[in-house]
Amino acid sequence: MSEAVNPLNPLPPVTLSEENGVRYLHFGTSWIQGAMRIDDPEAVELEYVRQMMAWLLFIGQPQHIVQFGLGSGALAKCCYRHLPESRLTVVELNPAVIDICRAQFLLPPDDARFAVKAQDALAWLADAANHGSADVLQVDLYDDKAEGPVFSSPEFYQACARCLTPRGMLTVNLYGDEEIHLENIAALTEAFDAVVWLPLVDEENLVALAFKDSPSMDFAELRARALAIRQQTGLEADKWVDGLQQWMYC
């Protein structure tokens, strides 16, 4: 999970812990905001973060990926490593999170295809220059209390949709109870042509996928893509297809 807070309020402290070979990111509380296995820093430790890459089943080579909330940098590092032809923009409100990711979580420096902006996600969405600019938008915005996504209104998700290309899609981490899940899915449904979600993982993390243009669900084709994704990235994409099939036929 990653942070978004009211800029009028002080940003929470950024803290670390380590247990069983894993380094964790916190915002001054026990809530885990990101993780990295110390002896395998390129691996994506948390399953819900791996699920956030499920858009790969539908968009093989995006030109521009945008991420709201840096967390420990695991998602950004995964995209940067495995999608060398894609441009990646990360929007993170707290400069201290950016600094600690570079110092403690091996986040690469900015370059021609990778930029981390110390900016509020709402400001990025409001900038007309960003409208229609992203093929993929990955959203993981939480504060130090982690009581649910900071932004969950239909208006927020509509703003996200405006920043996507015509066949673009969004993945979002919905951490919380069933009420939070249903509230966000309803809001997503108002903003997107189609919304699906994967099975719960890591306690209460539900990852939803939202499409500006409803995709076909050819499961034979999706399984072939999943095999290619696993071979290319090591991500368990076959489990994502299982989850989508479970969602469709439940």
Give the pLDDT score at 146.
Answer: 67
Extract the tokens encoding 112.
Answer: 């021609």
Domain boundaries, the chain: 15-249
> Cα separation of 54 and 56, whole Å?
5
Lookup: tokens for 161: 């949709």
Per-residue tokens: 210:
């939202």
- SS3 for 17? strand
Residue 58 contacts residue 215 (beta carbons within 8 Å) = yes
Task: Say if CB 151 and CB 4 are below 8 A apart.
Answer: yes
pLDDT for res 9: 59
Q: Domain 15-249 classified CATH 3.40.50.150?
A: yes
Q: Look at residue 213 in the predicted model and tell me its pLDDT.
A: 96
Q: Extract long-range pairs of 98-104: CB within 8 Å, 24+ residues apart.
A: 98/70, 100/14, 100/16, 100/25, 101/25, 101/70, 101/72, 101/73, 104/16, 104/23
pLDDT attached to residue 7: 47
User: pLDDT 10s per residue in the chain (250 long)?
Assistant: 544 444 445 788 999 999 999 999 999 888 899 999 999 999 999 999 999 999 999 999 999 999 999 999 999 999 999 999 999 999 999 999 999 999 999 999 999 999 999 999 999 999 999 999 999 999 999 876 767 788 999 999 999 999 999 999 999 999 989 999 999 999 999 999 999 999 999 778 999 999 999 998 899 999 999 999 999 999 999 999 999 998 887 6
pLDDT of residue 144: 61
Closest Cα partner for 23 from 74, 67, 94? 74
Closest alpha carbon to 195 in 206, 203, 205, 186? 186
Under a CB-based contact definition with an 8 Å cutoff, are residues 227 and 240 in contact? Answer: no
Residue 26 is encoded by which pair of tokens?
């916190």
